[in-house]
A and B are shown apart, each in its own frame.
Chain A
Amino acid sequence: MSLRLCLLACLLVAAQASKDANMQLKPTRWLTSSDLESVPSLNDITWERLESQPLEQGAKLIEKIYHVSQIKHDLTPSFVPSPSNVNVWIVKSNGQKVEAKLNNYVEIAKAQPGFGEDEVTIVLTGLPQNSQPAKKAMRKLVQAYVQRYNLQQLQKNAQEQQIKSTDYDYTSSEEQADQWKSAKTSSGDLIIIDLGSTLTNFKRYAMLDVANTGAMIGQTLIELTNKGVPQEIIHLIGQGIAAHVAGAAGNKFTAETGHKLRRITGLDPAKLLSKRPQTLVGLSRGDADFVDAIHTSTFAMGSPIRCGDVDFYPNGPSVAVPGSENVIEAVARATRYFAESVRPGSERNFPAVPANSLKQYKEQDGFGKRAYMGLQTDFDLRGDYILEVNAQSPFGKRSPALKQAAYHGVHRSQN
């Protein structure tokens, strides 16, 4: 009996296989019940699970949920964090952190001496900070900005005395030899708005109301500028799903004030699962004077959709960038790359070329001039850029020209 059943089953499967040729034409073959059943409940997906699953598995899972949500297409966003629950840190140029919340950080920031005189960088986290790769990436970004904003003082000190590298908390090879001593820099203020930690589970992440959360944050930016901080010095950075929140904040700001923020950077803008009907949502060009995005997990938690005036795709559009162990780390890589570019002297670590795939990049089949990804991306850029990156820090494949400057020996091109 069971053998007969087995035979029947085998025949069915065989018949199935021969139909593959016509699979293109029959929608019932495109998504089967078993496909659907294999998508887990949102409640079963935890950050721990995503971090512990190998990259390919995690990516497949996210892609499945995403596509099914698009077929359904009326999954309505429902979660907006309460402002008193969102932690904010104001980082002073000596590295000291002043704690605040989303509903009071503007006052506290303005009370800091010298705040808002040069540059103001506001980072919206998009991953929970108890996740290892996310925590590390944020730490690196903060360090990089502290180094940058503190540099004027450092440079002055360096002239007066030897600086020991043990004075600073550098655990990897990202600091440069002596290049920072002569690098250009400005002073500035850094604010971290920890949106990511309010997304305590995947369901909240999937249901995040990007537009309203962004409007809430945009409102605080308006208060900031009302208190005398000019909008043209504000650089808003959004990580993962918070990249879209940053875009919405920019829109809110423009809607109320008629002015645009100077720049919004998306560090691996996420796939959006829930959307309001008949409404555009998500980071896009026009949300600030200049919008740039770095995609490090295009076919995992990130998205292939172009979000900025210029979009960088390290490793080309792929599941994730080299060296990513899991989907969370893949998102965090964009933050790591950006952080590296913030460090004085490393601004040109990430040369990129206009192209549509890694293949085109490697075959030198691009269509335009080289440009640099990161803090000092040229605001005139428009289009899609591809570049290669290393699997370990330092991530940027620096141009041969830069290497030349540091060596006095005969230059050997890296190819």
Chain B
Amino acid sequence: MNPLRTLCVLACLLAATVANPQAGSHRRSNSLENVDQPSNWVNPREIEQLPSLQQVNLKKLQEMSLEEGATLLDKLYHLSQFNHVFKPDYTPEPSQVKGYIVGERGQKIEFNLNTLVQTVKRQQRFGDDEVTIFIQGLPENDSQVQKATRKLVNAYQQRYNLQPYPTTDVDYSSEEQRQRGSSEEQQSRQQRRRQGDDKEDTKTGDLIVIQLGNALEDFEQYATLNIERIGEIIGNRLVELTNTVNVPQEIIHLIGSGPAAHVAGVAGRQFTRQTGHKLRRITALDPSKIYGKPEDQLTGLARGDADFVDAIHTSAYGMGTSQRLANVDFFPNGPSTGVPGADNVVEASMRATRYFAESVRPGNERNFPAVAASSYQEYKQNKGYGKRAYMGIATDYDLQGDYMLQVNSKSPFGRSTPAQTQAGYHAVHQPWRQSAQGAASRRQ
């Protein structure tokens, strides 16, 4: 057969099928028949109604309801995986990735990835105790993102500058501010050191924020982020830090939110590649779905990237992922589109940062008790198993597995343990769950 003719015939067929989407073969998605025909699992009309990526941005996502936004992102993600549409091509210029060191007086000492190490070098007494490096994954011009970051930064400032339980030994000089927002107290770092007071629940430390999110200006950049490359660059900076500024790796805690959680994982691996040592801990705050994956390569955050890796998932079926990535994965409200009180997918994703920030505030380390389970339902039916664990800064490094917990829709988010409530009451304690059941049976 004439090759040209064959080509034409093929082209005809192709054009015909593309030009005329299937009509009349849509069956109800729950009928048994439908289960057998994968070609009926997805309605081409659904796909047609999806917006072009140019129209998907944070602002639009925030205008949608949580369910709408999550459904959209979930569909876009799985659709894109069918033909591997996205390639991880986009690497932000290191000079364009900015950040700041939070100084003792709360001031922001700015740097970019090329000047990070020399900027840190200029700080006095950096890395004496703990070094927390927070990598933001979404742009800060978004109000939700800004708020969550601010809460986290404030929480660390509080943690690194004060004592949780005042004792009679404490000498508050008149210069010290006594701010009581939500049971917060301030005391200078020098004073604590002088007193040699080391409460186990708090340390002094340094906080660095890397604003990677600001380099992700639209969805396409977000979906094609070259996690490997930027993670390598940051990993190399960490190596320089530990070499030049003498920061031991076992005090470094790397935190990444959204896509930056994966960047943090790669940074950890790169650090180990160069030094033979592992970072102490990497925490993922709502690790994102990875759209553009490198070929024939494992990518993204994984257990083993640091001595201890933990993750908090607050939008598993939205911007986040339901995949277990860490040594221990927490799912507040179970794996779902979002968490209570979050009005849209961006807020849901930011909740992980808010929860973690709450746990960082001295005294709140046990605000988020969780139980090993595979679903929220299991958790509620008391069918969880194993010991209770605490989500947040004080997570036990021995934990392995998946944990579920309840959270509040407004701050304070953590549902503290009944034991804590018990401590506050002198009357006979009635565990809250039992009394709910008791009330139910009485109603019958």
- Residue A316 CB within 8 A of the other chain: yes
Q: Is A24's CB under 8 angstroms from B85's CB?
A: yes
Q: A9-B15, A36-B39, A278-B376 are known contacts; what are 19 more A-B pairs with Cβ within 8 Å?
A: A10-B11, A25-B53, A30-B79, A30-B82, A30-B83, A31-B42, A31-B47, A70-B81, A71-B78, A278-B335, A278-B375, A284-B402, A285-B303, A286-B372, A309-B400, A317-B298, A318-B296, A382-B304, A383-B304
Instruction: Report the separation of the CA atoms of residues A276 and B21 in the bound assembly, to the nearest whole angstrom.
Output: 30
In the bound complex, residues from chain B placing their C-beta under 8 Å from that of A254 are 372, 385-386
Instruction: Report the separation of the CA atoms of residues A397 and B323 in the bound assembly, to the nearest whole angstrom.
Output: 32
- Residue A163 CB within 8 A of the other chain: no
Q: Is A382's CB under 8 angstroms from B50's CB?
A: no
Closest CB in chain B relative to A189 CB, distance in Å: 27
Chain B window 80-96, contacts with chain A (Cβ cutoff 8 Å), 1 for yes, 0 for no: 11110110000000000
* Smallest CB-CB A-B distances: 8 pairs: A383-B304, A286-B401, A6-B8, A367-B273, A382-B304, A72-B41, A12-B15, A357-B297
Q: Is A73's CB under 8 angstroms from B78's CB?
A: yes
B interface residues, Cβ below 8 angstroms from A:
5, 7-9, 11-19, 21-22, 29, 35-39, 41-42, 44, 47-48, 50-54, 74-76, 78-83, 85-86, 220, 223-224, 269-270, 272-273, 276, 294, 296-299, 302-305, 322-325, 327-328, 331, 334-336, 372, 374-377, 383-386, 400-402
Q: Is B304's CB under 8 angstroms from A71's CB?
A: no
Q: Is A383's CB under 8 angstroms from B297's CB?
A: no
Chain A window 355-375, contacts with chain B (Cβ cutoff 8 Å), 1 for yes, 0 for no: 011111000011110000000
Chain A residue nearest to B269 (CB atoms) is A367
Known: A12-B19, A39-B39, A211-B374. A73 touches B402 (CB 8 A): no
Chain A window 1-33, contacts with chain B (Cβ cutoff 8 Å), 1 for yes, 0 for no: 001011111101100100000011111101111
In the bound complex, residues from chain B placing their C-beta under 8 Å from that of A304 are 298
In the bound complex, residues from chain B placing their C-beta under 8 Å from that of A310 are 304
Give chain A interface residues in 295-319, CB to chain B under 8 Å.
304-306, 309-310, 313, 316-318
User: Interface stretch among A61-69, A88-96, A407-415?
Assistant: A61-69
Closest CB in chain A relative to B41 CB, distance in Å: 4
**Among B42, B82, B302, contact of A306 (Cβ-Cβ < 8 Å):** B302
In the bound complex, residues from chain B placing their C-beta under 8 Å from that of A284 are 324, 401-402
Instruction: Report the separation of the CA atoms of residues A251 and B374 in the bound assembly, to the nearest whole angstrom.
Output: 9
Q: Is B83's CB under 8 angstroms from A31's CB?
A: yes
Q: Is A28's CB under 8 angstroms from B47's CB?
A: yes
Q: Is B82's CB under 8 angstroms from A313's CB?
A: no
In the bound complex, residues from chain B placing their C-beta under 8 Å from that of A280 are 322, 324, 331, 335, 374-375, 402
Q: Is B74's CB under 8 angstroms from A73's CB?
A: yes
Give 6 CB contacts A-B under 8 Å: A23-B85, A24-B53, A25-B220, A27-B53, A27-B80, A36-B42
Q: Is A8's CB under 8 angstroms from B15's CB?
A: yes
Instruction: Report the separation of the CA atoms of residues A332 and B377 in the bound assembly, to the nearest whole angstrom.
Output: 36
Instruction: Report the separation of the CA atoms of residues A309 and B325 in the bound assembly, to the nearest whole angstrom.
Output: 10
Q: Is B39's CB under 8 angstroms from A384's CB?
A: no
Q: Is A285's CB under 8 angstroms from B323's CB?
A: no
Known: A6-B12, A12-B18, A367-B269. A42 touches B36 (CB 8 A): yes
Give the A interface residue count (CB, 8 A).
81
Closest CB in chain A relative to B261 CB, distance in Å: 15
Instruction: Report the separation of the CA atoms of residues A284 and B52 in the bound assembly, to the nearest whole angstrom.
Output: 36
Closest CB in chain B relative to A199 CB, distance in Å: 16
Q: Is A9's CB under 8 angstroms from B11's CB?
A: yes
Chain B residue nearest to A367 (CB atoms) is B273
Closest CB in chain A relative to B89 CB, distance in Å: 10
**Among B7, B17, B276, B384, contact of A32 (Cβ-Cβ < 8 Å):** B17
Instruction: Report the separation of the CA atoms of residues A287 and B373 in the bound assembly, to the nearest whole angstrom.
Output: 11
Q: Is A279's CB under 8 angstroms from B41's CB?
A: no
Closest CB in chain A relative to B272 CB, distance in Å: 4
Instruction: Report the separation of the CA atoms of residues A3 and B5 in the bound assembly, to the nearest whole angstrom.
Output: 9
In the bound complex, residues from chain A placing their C-beta under 8 Å from that of B336 are 278
Q: Is B17's CB under 8 angstroms from A37's CB?
A: yes
Closest CB in chain B relative to A327 CB, distance in Å: 17
In the bound complex, residues from chain A placing their C-beta under 8 Å from that of B305 are 383
In the bound complex, residues from chain B placing their C-beta under 8 Å from that of A345 are none
Instruction: Report the separation of the CA atoms of residues A32 and B385 in the bound assembly, to the nearest whole angstrom.
Output: 45
